[in-house]
Amino acid sequence: MPPPPGLIPSGPGGPPPEPSGRSRRRRVAFVVAAFLLANSVLGAWFLSKVGSPPGARPTSTVSGQVEGDKSASAIAQIVDPAVVDINTFAHVFGEPAGRIAPLGAGTGMILTSTGQILTNNHVVERAVKIEVTITGRPGTFTATVVGVDPTQDVALLQLQGVSGLPTITPADAATVSVGDRVLGIGNALGRGGTPSVVAGSISGMDRTIRAGNPGGSSEQLTGMLETNAQIQPGDSGGPLVDTTGHVVGMITAGGTAGGSSAPVTGFAIPVDTALGIVDQIRAGGSSSTILLGDRGHMGIAVRTLDPQTGRILHVSSGALVVGVEPGSPAADAGITAPAVIRSIGGRVVISGDALGPILHAYVPGDHVVITWVDATGTHTKTVLLDTGPAV
């Protein structure tokens, strides 16, 4: 993966004007980094993952008063036992079939004593193996994906072979307001160990943001909490907590301004929104946004089609293939990079962002007709999808 690019405003002239009739909503004029630490070369349609290689992190403490005589570190100690490190692994493009390598690192929150974990969809996206480290317990634990909502960037995991775990305490969403003091807790920079802690406050409510990297794919997320706490890559999926240690939101993204590479603002999904999606997943009903169990897998990595490649291949839209997994259905069909996916199952693919939602409609064993363009011309074949990452 290329070095993390700087984050840039989504348009000239700063933030767009306040929409009429929406006094509490302002569209944030940032391109936002979805904060997952990533190590492998995996371009894809999903939210871009940024960061640096993981390493040992010493125990983190935060000094200063947050409320009365309660220090930030004292508040964090209430929450830390229910915060976990998440490390993911994925197939390596361009390597022998079946080889996996580290994909990224993020954070999760324990919801049940038997090991249900709340995190971001982008933390586990493309993962074929998920390992979780729990504070105070030796070794690592394997997690499976119960379900996800990619449109809201929420995922529910289930740990294997655990019991008696501490759990987070959600805050009452109705009590959260601008100016409230908060802490961001997570696996900053993917270094593991005692969770990192940063102090700040709620600086905005009901924000709409677009998360991604310049030149890559992105997703729009709505209803977000904004904080001036200095969120870092790897904090994704971690808790944003109030001064009582109750969770008000799930850290999801951070933005920069003025060409700086340092985050100046962070964003979190309100905890009631995230838990509402968890309840839908637990109910076991798939929908246009809720995905349960295994999904159909084609084995390609894609990104937004750039004009130069479009001119070379004589196409103006589609999903640009930048990697093909050896031994995958795509490889068996003869798809090689670079190529542009034009349609799947009769549905036109207009961009890299559009490919994922179309593929998510299929399950392993489905036969799907795929049309693509490469340097030799236009091709159409029927492929048999296999089982891959849950999302």
* Predicted confidence (pLDDT) per residue in 77-121, tens digit: 999 999 999 999 987 776 666 678 898 999 999 999 999 999 999
Indicate whether 256 pLDDT > 70: no
- Residue 44 belongs to some domain of the structure: yes
Q: Do 239 and 341 belong together in one domain?
A: no
* Catalytic-role residue among 10, 48, 218, 236: 236
Indicate whether 143 pLDDT > 90: yes
Burial label for 282, CB within 10 Å (0-12, 13-18, 19+), is: middle
* Catalytic-role residue among 10, 85, 91, 122: 122
Domain span at 324? 294-387
Contacts of 118 (CB under 8 A, 6+ apart): 108, 109, 111, 154, 155, 156, 157, 168, 237, 250, 274, 275, 278
Q: Do 34 and 78 belong together in one domain?
A: yes
Indicate whether 218 pLDDT > 90: no
- Residue 48 belongs to some domain of the structure: yes
pTM of the model: 0.76
Q: Do 159 and 50 belong together in one domain?
A: yes
Cα separations in angstroms, 158 against 90, 130, 141, 338, 388: 18, 10, 10, 37, 18
Instruction: Read off the pLDDT band of 17 (50, 70, 90).
Output: very low
CATH number at residue 304: 2.30.42.10
Q: Do 215 and 348 belong together in one domain?
A: no
Q: Do 308 and 264 belong together in one domain?
A: no
Our answer to whether residue 153 is catalytic in this structure is yes
Q: Do 251 and 363 belong together in one domain?
A: no
Residue 39, CB-side half-sphere exposure with 13 Å CA sphere: 20
Three-state SS at 377: strand
Instruction: State residue 289's pLDDT score.
Output: 84
- Residue 10 belongs to some domain of the structure: no
Indicate whether 6 pLDDT > 50: no
Identify the residue with better confidence: 74 or 10. Answer: 74
Domain count, the chain: 2
* Catalytic-role residue among 85, 153, 180, 235: 153
- Residue 152 belongs to some domain of the structure: yes
Q: What are the pLDDT digits (tens) for 278-311?
A: 999 999 876 778 888 777 788 888 888 999 999 9
Q: Do 254 and 312 belong together in one domain?
A: no
Instruction: State residue 98's pLDDT score.
Output: 66
Q: Do 191 and 310 belong together in one domain?
A: no
